[in-house]
Structure 1
Amino acid sequence: MHADDRRHEILAVARRDGMVAVTPIARALGVSPETVRRDLRALEERGLVRRVQGGAHPVESAGFETTLDARARRYVPQKMRIAAAAADLLEEAETVFIDEGFTPQLIAEALPQNRALTVVTASLATACCLARRESTQVILLGGRVRGGTMATVDHWATGMLRELVIDLAYIGANGISRQYGLTTPDPAVGEVKAQAIRSARRHVLIGIHTKFGSVSFCRFAEPSQFETIVTDTALPAAEAQRYALLGPHVIRV
């Protein structure tokens, strides 16, 4: 198999499964693990994957974004810990914005049920999760629904957000970088996130360790705009400290 064809297959597996492991893909392609490692280095140089021990994760871009279903299958224990720690940062907030995505949905589930809250969200899944709670009022942003993430975007959503003053916003990102800031593949999604940040008094960034160092297509915020970043312990402590030097408190759980 030609190198370009092999790398195309490796990238396809990474995007389908959310990760590609060196040994299994080497066996499937009939090449050595070292050949796969060279291929992964080449794909990383092109910004298509981010290497980790034993393999690589796909980098989300203007032409590729993982679905909500795929996100719900990866790193679930870590995402549950992140969500619980993020929910503990609620403090006295009465109005909350919850971003689209699987980890934000877990934050919604972790919010206390014994106090009155108004939750604003673009996520249909999060709205459905909270709508049955007697103590929670849910405001679902209108707009075009993106099928992959089941969330609303475009001027209907941002227009509604502009009219609100929100105590606390929980924001996710497809890429988190000290150099390029917070990024997402779709400019329409970036506009909703940016407006939610402008409309909120406090901001908490949540993201699994694989998001750090990744860069997507559309920048919508900087790490310095957040009071807290919540991630998991797979993000090295030294790297967490580099983000803390930009302003936010970094919590690793």
Structure 2
Amino acid sequence: MNQLDRQRQLLQELDQRRQMSVADVMTALAVSRDTARRDIVAVTERGLAQRIHGGLQVRNFGIGIPSYQDRLQQFTAIKTALARRVLPLITANQYVFIDVSTTLLKLTQLLRQHCTVYTHSLDNAISLATNPAVTLQLLGGELNQTNRFMAGTAALTALRPVHFDQVLVGAATVSAQGLFYSDAGDAAIKRQALSQTDRGILVCEHRKFGQPARFCGGRLAQLQVVITDEPLTPTERAWFTPTTTFINLAEDD
């Protein structure tokens, strides 16, 4: 398949999914990571899509609120399976912080347990807004229109009085130095939430380990549970405390 045909196929896939990561593009087009990145750059430079951290999205994605069905198009089978592994960890009447993440967005759509949820994710709030089991607390602050979260002083102030039973976070990247993100305000929210719980839970795909990002959102010692699609390597497991519980989807096979 030549470059123009690949890009045409990429745009057709993007029209259905609304957002795609580099890994999604690799799978959809059966190409290498370098080729996927070149095609992303090409279609975004032509003004046919909008580039975001780790992938691309349809133009003006942040202006209108996508429908429920549009958001479902973003979920891979892996993300849905990860969300289902998290679900039993939330018990009745807990206070839970749920991070910005398409995997954790799927979790909010599955959640039926009575609990209080704090979030700075606009999409999480939309998902939970009509859920009678959930008392929703959407943090205030300035809206990041690209990645659809609230951040700033108002959000941090609203977090400070709360001790959470569990804090569920995703990650742009994980390294021996901690959890890292592309936005400083987003990272500050996660740091604050993790400092106010005895049970931090990381939920992310294994491909996030070792990728570059700039702003630290938490220390690995603050995590009691790590849920991934694939098992961590021995070196990666050694980054965490000896008491950390590791859960991966391969255990379900």
TM superposition score normalised by structure 2: 0.70
Alignment match of 1:224 (pick from 221, 227, 244):
221
Distance 1:237 1:245 in 2: 15
The number of residues matched between the two structures is 209
Distance change >3 Å, CA 222–CA 68, structure 1 → 2: farther
| CA RMSD of superposed structures (Å) | 3.6
5+ long unaligned stretches in structure 2: 1-10, 12-18, 39-50, 59-70
Query: What residue is the counterpart of 2:244 in the other structure?
Result: 248
Query: What residue is the counterpart of 2:53 in the other structure?
Result: 65
Q: Classify the secondary structure of the residue corresponding to 2:195.
A: helix
Deviation at 1:90, TM superposition (A): 1.7
Q: Is the 8 A contact 1:72 1:102 kept in 2?
A: no
Distance 2:198 2:240 in 1: 20
| Alignment deviations for residues 96-119 of structure 1 (CA, whole Å, 9 cap, x no partner) | 1100121111121222x2x42111
Distance change >3 Å, CA 90–CA 239, structure 1 → 2: farther
**Structure 2 counterpart of 1:173, which letter?**
A
Percent of counterpart pairs with the same letter?
Answer: 24
Taking the TM superposition and a 5 Å limit, the aligned residue runs for 1:1-253 are 18-19=22-23, 21=26, 40=34, 65-66=53-54, 76-91=76-91, 94-111=94-111, 113=112, 115-178=113-176, 180-233=177-230, 235-236=231-232, 238=234, 241-243=237-239, 247-253=243-249
Distance 2:56 2:100 in 1: 9
Deviation at 1:244, TM superposition (A): 5.3
Distance 1:240 1:110 in 2: 30
Q: Is the 8 A contact 2:92 2:115 kept in 1?
A: no
Distance change >3 Å, CA 92–CA 210, structure 1 → 2: same
Deviation at 1:123, TM superposition (A): 0.9
**Structure 2 counterpart of 1:213, which letter?**
G
TM superposition score normalised by structure 1: 0.70
Q: Classify the secondary structure of the residue corresponding to 1:213.
A: coil
Q: Is the 8 A contact 1:94 1:118 kept in 2?
A: yes
